[in-house]
């Protein structure tokens, strides 16, 4: 940049001091222009960084790009140290959050503060707000506003049986009629007609099962004893054909019930009422338990 801002002493000559000042000013102007250009180039980047700091940390995963890894740790770990959700899932028509595992649990829920482990909500149109309808407390209690539904019909509890150590309880089968053993107080198969020690029936598929540990397999000396409602039951016609509505009692056939006909011996010995008939032989029918 020519230095022509100063007035020379003559038309063709400038004083040495003026030349030095002009050169210094030229250098300063060039440096200033260079710094301004650099500032303008860096300003958008700084603005972007400032915007990034102001926005909450958020990352959107492309639906076509699954997260995969091969390690002993999690494939995806999300942490929120604030008061918001750790993971939030939404779907217009599908499942909001889906979990699947080939060997371990598909979804694990944990609470370290004594709060509910799992909570279910449904939108209430009347109140126009989300309504809590289901929860699993940190101590294992389950609460629900609705009804627990099962295709099975009976209520059972895990109960010890006699003559079973380890897997020897496999000799007991679903639908067996069970009585209380007078020697041990444990259950065993019935094998005496009109036994007043009748306890119930070995449940085939209980709708509700009590006495079962969550993280442990069922001990080999326990079986599910059906106490009330409908249950499949082994029966025999050794005391005559069974008709619907007949009162059933224990029989001499191990683990089987029969039609009760001796009213004087039926007190405390009734297993239940037959809901299906059996004309001959032995078989399994539905029985409505009516234990005394």
Instruction: Please compute the mean of the pLDDT values over residues 43-52 and round it to a whole number.
Output: 48
Please state, in angstroms and rounded to a whole number, the distance separating the CA atoms of residues 137 and 224: 26
Q: 204, exposed or middle or buried, with CB in 10 Å at 0-12, 13-18, 19+?
A: middle
Residue 281 has pLDDT above 90, yes or no: yes
- Contacts of 235-238 spanning 24+ positions with Cβ under 8 A: 235/274, 235/278, 235/282, 235/283, 235/284, 235/285, 235/287, 236/281, 236/282, 237/278, 237/279, 237/280, 237/281, 237/282
Residue 6 has pLDDT above 70, yes or no: no
What's the pLDDT at 195? 95
Q: What percent of the chain has pLDDT over 90?
A: 30
What's the pLDDT at 193? 96
Please state, in angstroms and rounded to a whole number, the distance separating the CA atoms of residues 221 and 223: 7
For residues 177 and 235, the answer to whether their CB atoms sit within 8 Å is no
Confidence of residue 54 (pLDDT cuts 50, 70, 90): very low
Residues near 176 by beta carbon (within 8 Å), at least 6 away in sequence:
189, 201, 202, 234, 255
Instruction: Name which residue leads in pLDDT, 215 or 87.
Output: 87
What's the pLDDT at 280? 94
Q: What percent of the chain has pLDDT over 70?
A: 68
What's the pLDDT at 40? 58
What's the pLDDT at 65? 60
Instruction: Please compute the mean of the pLDDT values over residues 21-41 and round it to a whole number.
Output: 59
Of 46-60, 135-149, 161-175, where does mean pLDDT reach its minimum?
Answer: 46-60
Confidence of residue 19 (pLDDT cuts 50, 70, 90): low
φ, ψ at 213 (rounded to 5°): -70, 150
Residue 93 has pLDDT above 60, yes or no: yes
Instruction: Please compute the mean of the pLDDT values over residues 7-19 and round it to a whole number.
Output: 51
What's the pLDDT at 217? 63
Residue 197 has pLDDT above 90, yes or no: yes
Q: 270, exposed or middle or buried, with CB in 10 Å at 0-12, 13-18, 19+?
A: buried
Question: Among residues 118, 197, 117, 187, which one has the least CA distance to residue 156?
Answer: 187
Residue 81 has pLDDT above 50, yes or no: yes
Instruction: Please compute the mean of the pLDDT values over residues 32-43 and round it to a whole number.
Output: 59
> DSSP letters along 127-173, please?
TTEEEEEEEE-TTS-EEESS----S---EEEEEEBTT--GGGGGGS-
Question: Among residues 147, 140, 286, which one has the least CA distance to residue 226?
Answer: 286
Q: What is the CATH number of domain 155-289?
A: 2.40.300.10
Residue 48 has pLDDT above 50, yes or no: no
Instruction: Indicate the pTM of the whole model.
Output: 0.62
Residue 167 has pLDDT above 80, yes or no: no
Instruction: Name which residue leads in pLDDT, 185 or 16.
Output: 185
Domain residue spans of the chain: 116-149, 155-289
Kindly report the CA angle at 182 between 181 and 183, in degrees rounded to 5? 95
Please state, in angstroms and rounded to a whole number, the distance separating the CA atoms of residues 230 and 193: 22
Secondary element (H or E) of residue 249: strand 247-250
- Which of 74-88, 95-109, 153-167, 270-284: highest mean pLDDT? 270-284
What's the pLDDT at 276? 97
What's the pLDDT at 53? 45
Q: Mean pLDDT, the chain, as a whole number?
A: 77
What's the pLDDT at 213? 72
> What's the DSSP call for residue 46?
H
Instruction: Please compute the mean of the pLDDT values over residues 91-109 and round it to a whole number.
Output: 78
Instruction: Please compute the mean of the pLDDT values over residues 243-267 and round it to a whole number.
Output: 94
Confidence of residue 111 (pLDDT cuts 50, 70, 90): confident
């Amino acid at each position: 940049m020519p230095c022509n801002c100063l007035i020379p002493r003559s038309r063709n000559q400038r004083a040495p001091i003026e030349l030095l000042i002009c050169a210094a000013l030229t250098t300063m102007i060039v440096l200033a222009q260079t710094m301004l250009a650099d500032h303008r180039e860096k300003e958008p980047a700084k603005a972007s960084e400032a915007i990034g700091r102001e926005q909450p940390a958020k990352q959107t995963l492309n639906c076509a790009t699954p997260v995969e890894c091969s390690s002993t740790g999690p494939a995806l770990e999300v942490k929120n140290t604030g008061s918001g959700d750790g993971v939030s899932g939404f779907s217009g028509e599908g499942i909001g959050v889906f979990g699947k595992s080939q060997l371990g649990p598909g979804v694990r829920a944990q609470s370290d503060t004594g709060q509910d482990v799992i909570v279910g909500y449904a939108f209430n149109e009347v109140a126009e707000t989300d309504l809590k309808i289901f929860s699993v407390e940190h101590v294992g209690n389950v609460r629900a506003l609705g009804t627990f539904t099962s295709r099975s019909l009976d209520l059972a509890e895990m109960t010890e049986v006699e003559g079973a150590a380890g897997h020897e309880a496999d000799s007991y089968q679903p639908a067996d009629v069970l009585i209380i053993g007078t020697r041990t107080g444990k259950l065993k198969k019935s094998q005496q007609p009109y036994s007043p020690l009748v306890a119930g029936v070995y449940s085939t598929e209980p709708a509700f099962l009590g006495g079962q540990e969550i993280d442990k397999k069922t001990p080999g000396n326990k079986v599910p004893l059906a106490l009330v409602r409908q249950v499949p039951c082994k029966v025999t016609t050794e005391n005559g054909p069974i008709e619907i509505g007949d009162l059933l009692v224990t029989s001499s056939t191990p683990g089987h019930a029969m039609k009760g006909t001796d009213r004087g011996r039926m007190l405390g010995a009734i297993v239940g009422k037959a809901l299906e008939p059996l004309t001959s032989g032995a078989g399994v029918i539905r029985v409505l338990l009516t234990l005394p």
